[in-house]
Amino acid sequence: MSTDDIHARLGVRRLINVSGTMTVLGASIARSEAIEAMRAILPEFVEMDVLHRRASGVIAELTGAEAGFVTASCSAGVTLAVAATMTGSDLSAIERLPDTRGLKNEVVIQAGHLVHYGAPLDQGIRLAGATVVPVGQATSASAHQLVGAITERTAAAVYVVSCHVAMHAQIPLKAFVELAHARSVPVIVDAASEYDLKGFLSLGADVVVYSAHKFLGGPTAGIVAGSRARVRDVYLQNRGIGRGMKVGKESIAGTMAALKAWQTLDHEAIRCRDREVLHLWLAKLQGRRGIVAAIVPDPTGNPLDRVKVMVNPAEARITAWDLADRLAGGDPAVIVRDIEIEQGHFFLDPCNLHADEELVVAQRLAEELDRALSSATIVATPLHQRALAREAATFSWPN
């Protein structure tokens, strides 16, 4: 069955995703190994605790951690990891959450790490019953502020690795870990989108959480890695608040398969192909009026580059956001990475393309740029108007 068939059958549009791994677009292209594992396990019974144990072994092998656990999402993994630092293995405390009376229940986090990834990260912490204690301000955090925020009620310190965090004047992970550990506070790292499966643990993080459905190309799931005792305490949350975040056998099997496939992937070949795509887009954009395009590295150091497309509306006769919206409104819809669109640029991410879709992206860019050049007036929707329209659209669901 072709992709067109499944889209038509479900009554949804076909999309070309050059925005990166996005929950709102269905995350990533699942790897065939993960799909096959899910298909094979779905009609079968399995002892779930044993399957979880096998997954722990695979996660341990890939991350260098002692143990691992698969849950519903990275977001759920952070909630459950926080819960585990409060309850330990006390099942009665686990069943009492989010009531944290009598438990350490404060979680320190740099203010610049309080990100929104579709929901507020701090809510994922509070969901466990914890209280969030911000360290520093939106723009900066220093060692003395972290030290001053830690009290005898501190259960954990959370650290976020993401393109969404404040990029300057933050406490580096190694220093963050040392300061927390000197006060016996465990560190939980949210590394949802990071390719590095070992580095954060080797810097001393106690628990690291990843998304299975981002770069790994697994099913929707979260991967928790850490010491045997800590990961067991996270696992035990399935008998409490983790129940509503549980994964089925298919997500565990699919995540295991995606991790194993990651181990044997030809990462260099993938980079080569990505580079070809980036150069194809650059060539297509080169010399176009009002457009400057360049290849830029991933801001958190993942081994991936993107094309940054800078749009000068006076010359191109269209703003970056109107161009993005026209691409998204076309057939097929081309969804660009618009996280900094108000600055007059967007990115093209090559990581989630099916064969030859890069050609369609190049063609759609050229079509829309030509169309804008021939328009009588500059296409420039006021930014605030666009933002309000997008927010209003949220509430028109389900009609």
Ligand X SMILES: *Cc1c(COP(=O)(O)O)cnc(C)c1O
Assess 211 for contact with ligand X (CB under 6 A).
yes
Shortest gap between Cβ of 119 and ligand X (angstroms)? 8
User: Which residue, chain included where needed, has tokens 């389900």?
Assistant: 398
Distance (Å, rounded) from C-alpha 23 to C-alpha 281? Answer: 25
Residue type, 312: N
Is the dihedral angle over the CA atoms 214, 220, 225, 230 positive or is it negative? positive
Distance (Å, rounded) from C-alpha 315 to C-alpha 290? Answer: 4
Distance (Å, rounded) from C-alpha 94 to C-alpha 214? Answer: 29
Shortest gap between Cβ of 118 and ligand X (angstroms)? 7
Assess 162 for contact with ligand X (CB under 6 A).
yes
Interface region with ligand X, contact rule CB under 6 A, candidates 38-46, 71-79, 134-142, 267-275: 71-79
Distance (Å, rounded) from C-alpha 318 to C-alpha 349? Answer: 21
Residue type, 92: S
From the list 97, 187, 188, 192, which residue makes contact with ligand X (rule: CB under 6 A)? 192
Residue among 112 and 313 whose Cβ is closer to ligand X: 112
Residue type, 323: L
From the list 129, 186, 219, 222, which residue makes contact with ligand X (rule: CB under 6 A)? 222
Shortest gap between Cβ of 241 and ligand X (angstroms)? 15
* SS3 per-residue string spanning 328-342: HHCCCEEEEECCCHH
Assess 110 for contact with ligand X (CB under 6 A).
no
From the list 16, 35, 37, 74, which residue makes contact with ligand X (rule: CB under 6 A)? 74
Assess 193 for contact with ligand X (CB under 6 A).
yes
From the list 7, 23, 145, 181, which residue makes contact with ligand X (rule: CB under 6 A)? 23
Residue among 76 and 324 whose Cβ is closer to ligand X: 76
Assess 160 for contact with ligand X (CB under 6 A).
yes
- Tell me the three state secondary structure of residue 380: coil
User: Which residue, chain included where needed, has tokens 């310190």?
Assistant: 157
From the list 18, 79, 117, 251, which residue makes contact with ligand X (rule: CB under 6 A)? 117
Interface region with ligand X, contact rule CB under 6 A, candidates 34-42, 91-99, 186-194, 373-381: 186-194
Residue among 23 and 312 whose Cβ is closer to ligand X: 23
Number of Cβ within a 10 Å radius of residue 239? 11
Residue 313 CA to chain centroid, in angstroms?
Answer: 31
Number of chain residues interacting with ligand X (CB under 6 A): 13
Assess 158 for contact with ligand X (CB under 6 A).
no
CB 164 within 8 A of CB 116: yes
CA angle 30, 206, 228 (to 5 degrees): 80
Residue among 23 and 142 whose Cβ is closer to ligand X: 23
Assess 324 for contact with ligand X (CB under 6 A).
no
Residues that bind ligand X (CB under 6 A): 23, 73-75, 115, 117, 160, 162, 190, 192-193, 211, 222
